[in-house]
Structure 1
Amino acid sequence: MLTTQSIFDRYEEVRARFPNVVAREASLGISSLLDIDDQVDAFVFDAFGVLNVGETMIPGADLRLDQLRARGCAIRILTNAASYDREGAIAKFQRLGLRVMDDEIITSREAALQNLSDGSWGVIADDYDPLNDLPSSVTRLKDNADDYDKAEQFLFLSTADWTTSRQGLLMSAMQQRPRKILIANADLAAPRDNGFSIEPGHYGHQIADQFPSYVHFFGKPFPDVYDLIEESLASLEPDRIAMCGDTLHTDILGAAARGWRTVLVTQDGLFAGYDTQPFSEQAHLFADWHVSRI
C-alpha cells in the first residue's frame, strides 16, 4: 500500500536521475495565488492534487483560473498523465468543469511521442486508449511473452491495466535483450479519491535500477515538458513563470531547475494531512511559496 512517506522515500532513492537544483532554504506562506499575481506572468498548474483529485475538481479551482486570466496572467496545465491523447485530455478537464483552452494544456505524453523513432513499438496503454496519435507499428503489451520479445522498443503510457505479472514479462524481455523504453509519465503515484494510484514512473524506475541507460523518462521533473511550456511562453523570462504543484520531487524540483518560481500546494495532494516542512527539510527542497489551495 502506497503512503505519503513511502512515495517520498522512493523519490529520494531515485533522485540521482533528476535534474540538479540549487536548494532554497525556506518557503513563504500565502493565502492564495492572488497574493503573488503581480510577481508572475504565467501560472503553470499540475493537475492531480492541485486542480483535481481523481475525477473530482478541487473546490474553487475553476474560479481561481478565471480570476488569474482576468488579471492578465497566462495559464498552462502541465500534467504527467499520459493515459489520454490530446483530445482525451481536453475532454477530461471539461468533465471536471474546468474552463481550459486547448493551447493551455501540455502533457508528458506529447513530449514522449516527439521522441518516438522508427521501428516496432511495444506499448503499455489503457485498453480504452485508441492510440490514434501513435504510429501504426505498435503492439499492445498484455500477457503474450512473444509480443515483448518481438518489440524493438517500449512505450509506457498507462498503468490502468498493468499487473505485476506483466511487469515481470517486461523485465524478463529487458534481461534477455535490453532495449530503449520511454516512460511517458514519470510520476511514482497520483492522489485519488480513495488513496494513491501507482503510475508508470513506479515501474520505470524499477527497470532503470537495472538498466539505467535504456530508460528515458518524460514529464516533470524531466526537461522535455518544460521545453514545450517555454516554447508556448516564448516572450517570458523564466523567473516570471510559476509552477504550482503538490509534489516536491516532480513539480517543485523540475521547475526550480529551470529557474521558474514555485508554489507548493499542500491540502489535497501528496502531502494532504501532513506538515510539509519536515519533508522539505529532509529533501532540501523548498518552494518559493506554499499555499493550502490555489
Structure 2
Amino acid sequence: MAAACAPLAGDLRSQLLASVDALLFDCDGVLWRGESAIPGAAQLVNRLQECGKLVFFLTNNSTKSRELYVEKLQRLGFRAHCQQIYATAPCAALYLRREIQLCGSVYVIGGAALRGELQAQGIVCSGPGPEVTPGTLQVWATEPLDLTVAAVLVGFDEQFTYLKLCRASRYLRDPACFFLATNTDTLLPLEGGGIPGTGCLVKSVEAASKRTAYVIGKPNDFMFKCIVNEHGIDPSRTVMIGDRLDTDILMGSNCGLRTILTLTGVSTLEEVKAHQESDSPERHKLVPTYYVNSVADLLPGLE
C-alpha cells in the first residue's frame, strides 16, 4: 500500500513551508475557478513572495499566452510576472528550439496563442485556423505537403478537422518528423460537466499516424526541467500544489517532489484512497504527500 496522504495542518503545515524555497502552483481549480479566485489564494501567493519564496504558475492550457495569464492573475489579485508562468505553449517552443534544435517548420494543430509563442522564439509554423480546403478525400490524400515541416505539434484546437488530421498523419509518415503534444488532458472541466480536451485530439493523431507523441506538459517532467534550468531551484526544497492526481500530483512524483492536493478542483480523497489501496506501484505515484481543503489553508503556516 502507498504511504498515507496526510492532512496538512498545525505544526506540520509550518514545518513544510519552512522547508521549501519554491512552490509550483497549478492554476485552474487551485488558484481560481473560472473567473473567480479561490478565497484566500491571492493572499497566500502574495504572502509567500513577501516571505522570499519563489512562486511559479504551471498550466497545461495552450490557448493563452504568458501575457494573458499575467493579466488574469493580476486582475484576480495575484502578484505575477511572465517569468513565473510555465505553460505548455512557451515550453513547447523551448523544447523545439533548445532540446531538438529544430531545422525546419512546425505543422501546428492549435490556436493563435500556441502559434504566437512559437513565432516569438523564431519558429516558423503553419496550421492554426480553419484550413478550409475544397476537394475530395482523394485530393486531400495526395495534395503537396510543405517540405519544410520537420515537426507536428498538437494542442487544443477548436477548429480541429478531418483535413488537419490527414495532414498531420501524412507528415508523421516520415520517421524523422518530430511528434509533440502540449498535453494529454482528455477533459476540460467546464460548467455542465466539461468538454473533450487536447488529449482527445492527440489520441486521434496517434491512432492515424501509428506513433506516440512526446508530451510537453504535466505529468511529464519537461516544464519542471525548464524551471530548474532557468531558476536553479532545488527539488528537495520544492513542493507541487495541484487539484488533479493524474497531472499535477503525478508530475510532482515524476520529479521527486513533495506534493499537495487541494480539494477545490477535480480530484477527491476517495480517488486518493483507491490509488493507495491498489497493488500497482504506478497508481501509488498518484497519491499526494499531503492534502488541504483549499490553498488558503496554508496561510496560518506563514504567521
TM-score, with length taken from structure 1: 0.77
| Shift in Å, 1:48 | 1.6
Q: What residue identity is the alignment partner of 1:192? A: L
Alpha-carbon distance in structure 1 between the residues aligned to 2:253 and 2:143: 38
The C-alpha deviation readout for 1:162-187, integer Å capped at 9, x for no partner, is 35x45653575468666433212332
CA distance in 1, matches of 2:25, 2:185: 15
Structure 1 residues 39 and 197, CA, compared in 2 at 3 Å: closer, same or farther? farther
Q: Conserved in 1, the CA contact under 8 Å of 2:46 and 2:78? A: no
CA RMSD between the two structures: 3.2
Alignment correspondent of 1:140: 128
The question of whether the paired residues in 2 share the 8 Å contact of 1:109 and 1:185 is answered with no
2:290 paired residue number: 289
Question: Given residue 186 of structure 1, which amino acid in structure 2 is its aligned partner?
Answer: T
Distance 1:59 1:146, change over 3 A: farther
Change (3 A) 1:147 1:83: farther
Aligned positions, number: 269
Match of 2:198 among 197, 200, 212: 200
The 5-angstrom pairing of residues 200-219 of structure 1 reads: 200-208=198-206, 211=209, 213-219=211-217
1:20 matched to which residue of 2? none
The match for 2:301 is none
SS at structure 2 position matched to 1:219: coil
State the match for 2:255 in structure 1. Answer: 258
Q: Check if 1:184 corresponds to 2:182.
A: yes
Cα gap change, 1:210/1:273 in structure 2, threshold over 3 Å: closer, same or farther? Answer: same
1:132: how far off? 5.9
Alpha-carbon distance between aligned partners in 2 of 1:183 and 1:169, rounded to the nearest angstrom:
17
How far, CA to CA, are the matches of 1:253 and 1:28 in structure 2?
Answer: 17
Which residue of structure 1 aligns with residue 72 of structure 2? 92
Q: Report 1:1-294 matches (<5 A).
A: 24-31=2-9, 35=14, 36-116=16-96, 117-126=102-111, 131=116, 133-134=118-119, 135-140=123-128, 142-144=131-133, 145=140, 150-151=145-146, 152=149, 153-162=151-160, 165=162, 168-169=165-166, 173=170, 179-208=177-206, 211=209, 213-234=211-232, 236-266=233-263, 268-271=264-267, 276-282=272-278, 283-284=283-284, 285-294=286-295
- Quick one: which amino acid aligns to residue 156 of structure 2? S
Please list every run of 5 or more consecutive structure 2 residues that lacks an aligned counterpart in the other structure: 97-101, 134-139, 296-303
What is the CA–CA distance in structure 2 between the aligned matches of 1:94 and 1:162, rounded to whole Å? 32
* 1:110, distance to aligned residue in structure 2 (A): 1.8
Cα distance in structure 1, aligned partners of 2:187 and 2:289: 24
Task: Find the aligned partners of 2:81 and 2:223 in 1 and give their Cα distance.
Answer: 18
The percent of aligned pairs where both chains have the same amino acid is 26
- In structure 2, the partner of 1:15 is none
2:152 maps to amino acid: F
**Cα distance in 2 for residues equivalent to 1:291 and 1:162:** 38
Say which SS state the counterpart of residue 95 (structure 2) adopts. Answer: coil
Call closer, same or farther: CA 1:254–1:132 in 2, change over 3 Å: closer
- Unaligned runs of 5+ residues in structure 1 are 1-22
Q: Is this contact kept in 1: 2:3–2:276, CA < 8 A? A: no
SS at match of 2:80: coil
TM-score by length of 2: 0.75
**Structure 1, 170-179 or 40-49: larger mean CA deviation:** 170-179
**By how many angstroms is 1:188 displaced?**
2.6
Give the C-alpha shift of residue 204 in structure 1.
1.5
Of residues 213-222 and 170-179 in structure 1, the stretch that sits farther from structure 2 once superposed is 170-179
Does structure 2 conserve the Cα–Cα contact (< 8 Å) formed by 1:80 and 1:108?
yes
How far off its partner does 1:47 sit?
A: 0.9
Aligned mates of 1:147, 1:34 — CA distance in 2: 61
Q: Any idea what SS the aligned residue of 2:48 has? A: helix
Letter in 2 for 1:122: Y
Task: Render the CA deviation track for 1:248-270: whole Å, top value 9, x for unaligned.
Answer: 1221122122211111112x322
| 8 Å Cα contact 1:44-1:77 kept in structure 2 | yes
State which drifts further: 58-67 or 273-282: 273-282
